[in-house]
Amino acid sequence: MAASHAQVSEVLVEEKSSVRILTLSRPKQLNALSFQMISRLLPLFLAYEEDPSVKLVIIKGQGRAFCAGGDVSAVARDIAQGKWRLGATFFSDEYMLNYVMATYSKPQVSILNGIVMGGGAGVSVHGRFRIATENTVFAMPETALGLFPDVGASYFLSRLPGFFGEYVGLTGARLDGAEMLACGLATHFVPSTRLTALEADLCRVGSSDPTFASTILDAYTQRPHLKLQSAYHRLDVIDRCFSRKTVEEIISALEREATQEPDDWMSATIRALKKASPASLKISLRSIREGRLQGVGQCLIREYRMVCHVMKGEISKDFVEGCRAILIDKDKNPKWEPWRLEDMKDSMVEQYFKRVDEEEGWEDLKLPPRKNLPASAIAKL
């Protein structure tokens, strides 16, 4: 099927010898992923995998963002009009793309020279090489939006050192390029002034064996210093608090630490948790914990069940409320339901992890078979 005008104009394609460069191009919306973008990226990635003349794929963003996430406002509109199944189609295609990237047989180089949030992490972190710069701002902000870290985040967050993934996923904390590199979300750090030269060098790669791209990237990478206030210096406190079994225990542990040694980081962390959707916090914690024991495909299948429940809104309607408060009315004052953590009962959390089976025609996410993959194609974190 021919690509539509929106598909073509929102993802720019350049062919440079054996390399394909894909540029996410909705700069005014910070390259938020539209349905058209996802449905263009997926067939392109599949075609490049089949094409022996393609050895490497570069993905980057136009303007000040790599990608600020899925286009939340479009989906919130659909849900408000009772069309949550349209959103489900968006997610199934998006997760499919995440899975293809996580199991991709050729190196994907993602250039993260700006904002990387939510769905933006999903189209980069699963790939082989992730290049951070001094402009990178990474976050998984979903709990502030009534959602949960999806796009395979329960896989990649649960693989971060200690309980850093729980910290990043529950609080929506922002990480800079140095922090992304330190925790493993990025594989390299390259100053933005060197990106043009790096891209030109990568275009000379003649093999899809990742060691060739790796040698080029190693020549450009730097070891940036973590800033003094970096959360990555707090791994001991993060592990002590975010390893707790429940969200309530995590907050109590942080509050105990704060009475002993109050500081700005501790207050900001507690504040972020208290402002987030209680329903989101509880399902996110369980999702990351389950992710620790699952492969990337299993994580995506489980997240798809969860996101369909979120969109159906039969347990909580926090996603529509979060979009209203953050992106539409921008009053930053969501009225969560339930409002208190203790009112989000285990039995309610449990429902998000079940099949949506009473729904006519609803099916679990079916991931495409991935055959004859080289050892380097396994999930990368």
- Give the residue numbers marked as catalytic: 70, 119, 142, 150
Nearer to ligand WCA, 89 or 215 (CB): 89
Q: End-to-end distance of the chain based on CA atoms, in angstroms?
A: 34
CA dist list (Å): 381 to 126, 182, 279, 325: 8, 13, 28, 34
Q: Is residue 165 a contact residue for ligand WCA (CB under 6 A)? A: no
Q: Of 2-10, 138-146, 162-170, 291-299, which part binds ligand WCA (CB under 6 A)?
A: 138-146
The span from the CA of 217 to the CA of 239, in Å, is 32
Nearer to ligand WCA, 30 or 132 (CB): 30
Nearer to ligand WCA, 147 or 198 (CB): 147
String marking each residue 85-124 x if it binds ligand WCA according to CB under 6 A: --x--xx-----------------------x-xxx-----
Which residues, at least 6 apart from 103, have a Cβ–Cβ distance to it below 8 Å? 296, 370, 373, 377, 378, 379
In this structure, are residues 51 and 14 in contact, taking their beta carbons and an 8 Å threshold?
no
Largest alpha-carbon pair distance within the chain? Answer: 63
Question: Which residue do the tokens 């190196």 mark?
Answer: 107
For residue 53, what are its two tokens?
């003349």
For residue 351, what are its two tokens?
């429902």
In this structure, are residues 110 and 59 in contact, taking their beta carbons and an 8 Å threshold?
yes
Q: Is residue 69 a contact residue for ligand WCA (CB under 6 A)? A: yes
Least distance between ligand WCA and beta carbon 371 (Å): 29
Laid out side by side, the sheet with 11-16 consists of 11-16, 19-24, 56-61, 108-112, 129-132, 188-189
Least distance between ligand WCA and beta carbon 310 (Å): 8
Q: Is residue 147 a contact residue for ligand WCA (CB under 6 A)? A: yes
Q: How many residues does the chain have?
A: 381
Q: Is residue 186 a contact residue for ligand WCA (CB under 6 A)? A: no
Nearer to ligand WCA, 38 or 198 (CB): 38
Beta pairing, strands 175-176 & 137-139: antiparallel
In this structure, are residues 310 and 279 in contact, taking their beta carbons and an 8 Å threshold?
no
Amino acid at position 21, single letter:
I
Least distance between ligand WCA and beta carbon 9 (Å): 17
In this structure, are residues 108 and 49 in contact, taking their beta carbons and an 8 Å threshold?
no
Number of residues counted as binding ligand WCA (CB under 6 A):
22
Coil vs helix vs strand at 56:
strand
Nearer to ligand WCA, 174 or 370 (CB): 174
Report the site for ligand WCA in 324-363 (rule: CB under 6 A).
327
Q: Is residue 127 a contact residue for ligand WCA (CB under 6 A)? A: no
Question: Which residue do the tokens 């800033």 mark?
Answer: 227
Q: Is residue 145 a contact residue for ligand WCA (CB under 6 A)? A: yes
Nearer to ligand WCA, 32 or 356 (CB): 32
Q: Of 68, 178, 299, 379, which lies in the binding site for ligand WCA, with binding defined by CB under 6 A?
A: 68
Q: Is residue 75 a contact residue for ligand WCA (CB under 6 A)? A: yes
Report the site for ligand WCA in 17-36 (rule: CB under 6 A).
29-30, 32
Q: Which residues contact ligand WCA by CB under 6 A?
A: 29-30, 32, 68-73, 75, 87, 90-91, 115, 117-119, 141-142, 145, 147, 327
